[in-house]
Structure 1
């Protein structure tokens, strides 16, 4: 389009991909979003410095902020989005719901007006049938939302939603609605010229969600009757016309039993917009820019052709499914992918995933003549992805997309939760641990001078022979842990052509010499099976992708002072990830039961509870309210009931 572009960045993003690729970027403040990306005056000043005529607000932060849109207008800078009045209306779920009701669009019942008073909201919930859902009025992306299935859980859920809304969006007000069981999540893309002209660009299915966060999206919708789809298109256009909508917007609905209710309007470009682009053959951002600049639509409704084929998008996150999908922070050491699908990535090898922002790595978008073809292509593309240095949800996505319910499109917003409950996250394979530890030992042996206690001490002295020569006895030398498991690992000389006998916990594996095929790629024979391993190893960490599995190990040498298990001593409670402690619920001397809440940790604007792993007494607290903690930092010690009894 011939448009010159500049961008902004916080102090945490000086080396971010958008800064490096765009070339001209203005530093606007420190890491907290309110000091940088949510700082309206800083963004406006940056635009003035580079002589910008317009600002595109992107997917989040200020994209739905009416005050920001007004500030742009006052500065003589075009805001690429709706009018401030429209943002105020649709940025408030309660007001948007009232407009939908005025237009005779079905909605879910609930709290008539929003509130940030826990007592007021709790009174409403007590009068409603369970389950219900509490939502931050300014929320989005799953933040500030809690499903309440039992009345006794209501107060905690309401308080958490209010806190998340205030933290993420600066507005703690919430609404409460009837929760629809097992709905589909369908959305309609609209485009307006700001003068009452509005068209729809058909629809998307965003039903596969976790924690109200979209995971997989597709276009067009193929799961509901055409007549209902047409009704939703019309509802969306009616909402746009009623507000003289300008630019792109998304109108979202919940569909159950071929009936739909209005959810909300997102008055901005959506993360999932590429699936619409691929089936429509258009550039939505270009259409957005043209409609805002020219105040006219690039096409009339009758000129649009029906979507062609199908497109499916999967969101690749730095998160650990084995830890309840907690974000995985750290440096991305290796990031490789194929070229068969569209890849929209915000990071490269060397990028840091911090606790400050969303942990998305990339979006993979596959297209095909049919939904089946697009799904197959997407799975093939995910198989070509390698992410090392942080844990990703790649293996989870591969398993989900191969599930018969997903393949047949017999899904609901609760499908992922049910899938996880039924199948769980596969246990880590000791065979994979043996392969990765063998690679790690050889990779780190060349770094002995930098590693001290981490270096390879040689195979001699690591084994004791007892009985037949074919049965080596291996002395464990390392304690190896993942968030779910811990093993003692040792190496011994193999026999019969085997290079090493590797003991992982109680299991002995025979491992051949790793063959390096390419940078960070190895071929390793374990118990006669050849494994292709993509690995990155450094000091006390090792990461690998093996087939559809990912493995991240913390490694301690047992015979060195550094050898205390990273899993902690018995009764030790560690922070599951980096974050800010926003609640301390247990004090020294307090008796706790397994599952009792000890602390609340906030990371990436999401809250998580840290609970007691066993019955006992809190004998030590190593954290304070408002303190930032690191992953695996010791924050509590709990003495068991038996230990307390023996002392007394």
Structure 2
């Protein structure tokens, strides 16, 4: 076994790899960008080295800089984690040239599976089931349209070099094919530098099921059962579980055998995942991920094996520790991905400082993988995942119960998150029954993505108690700073003007001895040692999590998150200018395209600016028919949330009349 390991990644996966390496007695070396100087993964390693600016292309994707750092640090091996350079064969080659062990598959295997088209051609020769479609080299639009018609609509267009749903379009009719093809190619070129696509039959209600495979340099290959990853939003996974609910033993064995055959066909070594789509009794090869997957912990929970340890041992030349027949399947595990994103804004990433980030304690049933702590900043430059909650139980129902409790024990304040969405998914009857398909979240959007609505009176009363308690804790023992409403010879009334962005909710508070009176209800609150609050309302006690940060109260109560804002007396008056006369950046991001010029007439819904942030592409459109008065951004420019990108003048119709 090598003695030193450089982890060429960041966040929770870097922390997770370091944990196993330390247990094995391997010294860990972290790398970090300027934005990550104080990140958790830096603290988790034995040593840490800077590798460049915040932008990933200048740091975590800089092969030369990482190899140079590995040489300086004396690293004998490099683990790429997932994402970034993990599936880049040039990185594997660079490691080999530098005499450094690459903890991953051979570069040739990555190249073979890196292209969806070539991977499918290889699988076809290996008799692994494929969806009907076209995976060849011809790319002229007329030919691809003919192939789509041959397959039969609906079809899906996919980027050959794609992943994560980028460069993918579902087409329902021949009339829509040309437009969808152009859009898919543009996104593929922007995301991967390769605009080639393939065309396949689109399954109406597919399940996304993947099989974990492992191979060594001694000719051994096994699978560690399957994971169901069908709970997705915008083709990106949200919850995963193992084993797949409702899968027959015959299907399980067939998928496992096909996955092992696929790994052997490409001469695979290390951890990999064969992804399938399944409908009814049929399953079809989708792609191979030539790395460790984000959702690998659910496989670890049901088998009892540490897959990172397997990776390190295989990379060091050791054989797999067990044969296929000795791999157990114990109980059920579910993983939830906690993201800094706003489901109510089409899952737009949310950036900023984590005023509070609390997860439940780990136990035999609950595991938390994270790279964040309270006070950290969620950066525009990287993926928006805050943590993974992994829960295990002897049955699926038990695992679901543990997950529900674990989610209720989380608090995210300072940025928006999908925490409440995860809770609604886990509680949904269809998910509880098992066997959902990939369209589940979109189909149930009215239930799953609905806002909380107006806060009920109980929540407002608890929010008021939380504010009083938090303010008292913040002011300490100084009577001049106290805002506890205790005055001599009078009983003052304080009105807390809560708003939720759509409406106002005034709540009156008066002091009543050692308690407070909220309207006509009596309440009290006290801080607990773990930072939560114990609140009593009309004699009924409950424990809540509350954070007051820059006049925003984040209240986590009974598994629900409420974000209520109080007026800031020092804030400047709001700008009442009508927002229809300008296009502003919805989040901080990088401008990649500006497709409009000054004095140009535009129509409502026309794409004007393309913005990228946290692996997400935002196509910003004109809010109304208008004429562009000024363009205030350029490709390659970093912009902040709320920054004006395009200003409009008179409406297009008026401009035309004026010209006449």
1:308 maps to 2:330: yes
Contact 2:226–2:244 at 8 Å: present in 1 too? Answer: yes
Q: Distance in 2 between matches of 1:435 and 1:311?
A: 35
- Inter-partner Cα distance in structure 2 for 1:590 and 1:478: 44
Structure 1: how far apart are the matches of 2:579 and 2:416? 24
Structure 2 residue 602 is matched with structure 1 residue 602: no
Q: Does 1:177 align with 2:200?
A: yes
Partner residue, 1:535: 546
Query: Partner of 2:11 in structure 1?
Result: none
Corresponding residue of 1:376: 401
Deviations 1:619-642 (A, max 9, x none): 665444443222233445568979
1:209 Cα shift?
1.2
- Report whether the alignment pairs 1:250 with 2:273: yes
Out of 350, 355, 360, the position equivalent to 2:385 is 360
The one of 489, 502, 510 equivalent to 1:486 is 502
Partner of 2:259: 236
Q: 1:175: Cα distance to partner?
A: 2.5
Shift of 1:30: 1.5
Match of 1:389 in 2: 414
Contact in 2 for aligned 1:94/1:137 (Cα 8 Å) = yes
In structure 2, how many angstroms separate the alpha carbons of the residues matched to 1:15 and 1:120? 53
Is 2:370 the counterpart of 1:345? yes
Shift of 1:543: 2.8
* Change in CA separation of 1:491 and 1:567 when aligned onto 2, cut-off 3 Å: farther
1:412 corresponds in structure 2 to: 437
Partners of 2:26 and 2:86 lie apart in 1 by: 20
- C-alpha distance in structure 1 between counterparts of 2:472 and 2:178, whole Å: 55
Q: Is the contact made by 1:444 and 1:539 (CA closer than 8 Å) also made in structure 2?
A: no
Q: Distance in 2 between matches of 1:599 and 1:438?
A: 45
- Show the 5 A alignment for 1:6-45: 6-45=29-68
Alignment-derived partner of residue 242 in structure 2:
219
Q: Secondary structure at the match of 2:264?
A: helix
Question: Does residue 333 of structure 2 align to residue 322 of structure 1?
Answer: no
Alignment of 1:82-93 (within 5 A): 82-93=105-116
RMSD after superposition: 3.8
Contact kept, 8 Å, 1:317 with 1:361, in 2: the verdict is yes
Partner of 2:354: 332
Distance 2:646 2:522 in 1: 39
CA distance 1:7–1:446, change in 2 (3 Å): closer
What secondary structure is seen at the aligned counterpart in 2 of 1:48?
Answer: helix
Alignment partners' CA distance in 2, 1:9 and 1:553: 35
Given candidates 561, 565, 573, the residue that maps to 1:563 is 573
Q: 1:39 to 1:379 in 2, by over 3 A?
A: same
Q: For 2:274 and 2:169, locate their aligned partners in 1 and report how far apart those are by CA, in whole Å.
A: 21
SS in structure 2 opposite 1:223?
coil
User: Could you tell me how far 1:377 is from its partner in structure 2?
Assistant: 0.8
Moved more, 339-348 or 358-367: 339-348
Aligned pair in 2 of structure 1 residues 560, 339: CA closer, same or farther (>3 Å)? closer
Give the match's secondary structure for 1:244: coil
The reply on whether 1:188 has 2:211 as its aligned counterpart is: yes
Instruction: Please identify, of 511-520 and 93-102, the stretch whose mean Cα deviation from structure 2 is larger.
Output: 511-520
1:58-117 alpha-carbon deviations (Å, 9 max, x no partner): 011111111111111111111111111111001111111001000122212333335788
Deviations 1:444-464 (A, max 9, x none): 79989xxxxxx999999xxxx
- Between the aligned partners of 1:155 and 1:555, the Cα distance in structure 2 is 50
CA distance in 2 between partners of 1:567 and 1:272 (Å): 46
**Are the counterparts in 2 of residues 479 and 565 from structure 1 also a CA contact under 8 Å?**
no
SS at structure 1 position matched to 2:399: helix
- The residue correspondences of 1:74-153 to structure 2 (distance < 5 A) are 74-113=97-136, 129-149=152-172
Classify 1:354/1:594 alpha carbon distance in 2 versus 1 (closer, same or farther; 3 Å).
same
- d(CA) in 1 for partners of 2:351 and 2:470? 23
Query: Structure 1's 223 and 104: CA in aligned 2 closer, same or farther, altered over 3 A?
Result: same
User: How far is the alpha carbon of 1:511 from its aligned partner?
Assistant: 8.9
Aligned runs of 1:424-439 on 2, under 5 Å? 424-431=449-456, 432=459, 436=463, 439=466
Contact persistence 2:378–2:384 (CA under 8 A): yes
1:29 is displaced (CA, Å) by 1.6
The number of equivalent residue pairs is: 618
Q: Who is 1:200 aligned against?
A: 223
The whole-number CA distance in structure 2 between the counterparts of 1:501 and 1:641 is 50
- Normalising by the residue count of structure 2, what TM-score does the alignment of the two structures yield? 0.83
Q: Secondary structure at the match of 1:133?
A: strand
Q: 2:497 touches 2:507 (CA, 8 Å); kept in 1?
A: no
The Cα shift of 1:430 comes to 3.6
- How does 1:576-595 map onto structure 2 within 5 Å? 576-585=586-595, 595=605
76-85 or 105-114, which deviates more: 105-114
TM superposition shift of 1:563 = 2.1
Preserved contact between residue 167 and residue 605 of structure 1 (Cα < 8 Å):
no
- Inter-partner Cα distance in structure 2 for 1:439 and 1:638: 44
User: In structure 2, how many angstroms separate the alpha carbons of the residues matched to 1:473 and 1:300?
Assistant: 70
Moved more, 102-111 or 398-407: 102-111
Structure 2: runs of 5 or more not aligned = 1-23, 476-480, 487-492
Alpha-carbon displacement from aligned partner over 1:200-234 (angstroms, at most 9, x marks no partner): 11211111111111111111223222212211111
Name the CA distance, whole Å, in 2 between partners of 1:344 and 1:88: 30
CA gap 1:456/1:565 in 2 versus in 1, 3 angstroms: farther
Conserved in 2, the CA contact under 8 Å of 1:388 and 1:545?
Answer: no
Contact 1:313 1:365 in 2 (8 A): yes
SS at match of 2:444: helix
Distance 1:435 1:614 in 2: 42
- Which range moves more in the overlay, 257-266 or 579-588? 579-588
Query: CA separation of 1:152/1:437 partners in 2, compared to 1, >3 Å: closer, same or farther?
Result: farther
Deviation at 1:373, TM superposition (A): 0.8
* Partner Cα distance (1:442, 1:592) in 2: 52
State the distance in 2 between where 1:615 and 1:547 align: 45
Q: Evaluate the alpha carbon distance shift between residue 71 and residue 550 of structure 1 in structure 2; reply closer, same or farther with a 3 A threshold.
A: same
* Candidates 281, 294, 304, aligned match of 1:271: 294
- Of the structure 1 ranges 276-285 and 530-539, higher mean CA displacement relative to structure 2 is found in 530-539
Using a 3 Å threshold, how does the CA distance of structure 1 residues 421 and 300 change in structure 2: closer, same or farther? same
